[in-house]
Amino acid sequence: MAPNVVAYLFYMLRDLYELHKDPRVAHLPLTGNLWSVAFVIVVYLAFVLYFGPKWMEKRRPFELKLVMQLYNVIQVVANSIIFVYGITYTLFQPEFSFICQPVEHLNRTPQMMHLLYASYGYYILKYLDLLDTVFIVLRKKNSQVSFLHVYHHAGMVFGVSIFMTFLAGSHCTMLGLINLLVHSVMYAYYFATSLGALKQMLWWKRHITQLQLVQFGYLSLHFLLVIVRNPCQFPVFIAFIGFIQNVFMFALFFDFYYKTYVRKARKQRLQETPTDGVTGANIKAKLS
């Protein structure tokens, strides 16, 4: 029974990719083929969750400061360039709709082809993002390999591969554009802190998380608009998945934000504020 189910799913996915993949981008590496994408994700998960920590178990952490500085610079430059390139062919082009942009596999206008090039550049950056976790493992900062971190990176590779294969240039494009902007700011912060500007740049960290919350909040609304009203006949099932995914990511990031900045700040105020000669620490002890 099980082999038959696996075989059925295999042929179903093969036919899905063959019949519905976007012919404008199917020739590009890592598009039009689920198995190469799945292979990269499996290798990534295996390394960061098992083989990497196991290999580093009896080794000293790698000193990767210069490597990570170069990596951050590349990320800032690449994300910024692709963001400007992509926004030029959306915001400043009347043919692109922010309300409902259809899937148009036959649209080969110069504007659309430039937008596809920008989308593909964004897609390739999702593979580069996987090095974030690899660096964490090699530096033996395994506590930073959280569910949120790994799920976000692996999920983005898979999600954007689906976008590039079937939905390039469509309503999903705004997800990539906003994400490029967020990553430009985020990696600029990482680079600044690596130069020793941690104290001066520390205030960025909270606002970057706030920016990410705004990103997921807007994208939830962006896909909800298509679910409620769909004048361009965008696939409602895809819009629903986009809506649920962004609500889920908003919830995960909000949980992180609350625990890191709200609850921790309350505990700190409780410990530091004396009341009638009793310290905050004593109040906390009495309440517990």
- Positions annotated as catalytic residues are 152
- Whole-angstrom CA distances from 51 to 39, 42, 147, 217, 247 are 16, 12, 17, 36, 32
Residue with tokens 């942009």: 101
DSSP helix/strand/coil, 275: strand
Question: How far apart are alpha carbons 248 and 250 in whole angstroms?
Answer: 5
Contact 233/102 with Cβ under 8 angstroms? Answer: yes
Q: Given CA atoms 219, 225, 228, 230 in this order, what sign does their dihedral have?
A: negative
* Inter-axis angle of helices 131-138 and 65-88, nearest 10: 170
DSSP helix/strand/coil, 24: coil
Contact 250/216 with Cβ under 8 angstroms? Answer: yes
| 22-28, long-range: CB < 8 A, 24+ apart | 22/105, 22/164, 22/165, 22/166, 22/167, 22/168, 23/105, 24/105, 24/108, 24/113, 24/116, 24/168, 25/116, 25/120, 25/164, 25/165, 25/168, 26/165, 28/120, 28/164
Question: How far apart are alpha carbons 67 and 46 in whole angstroms?
Answer: 23
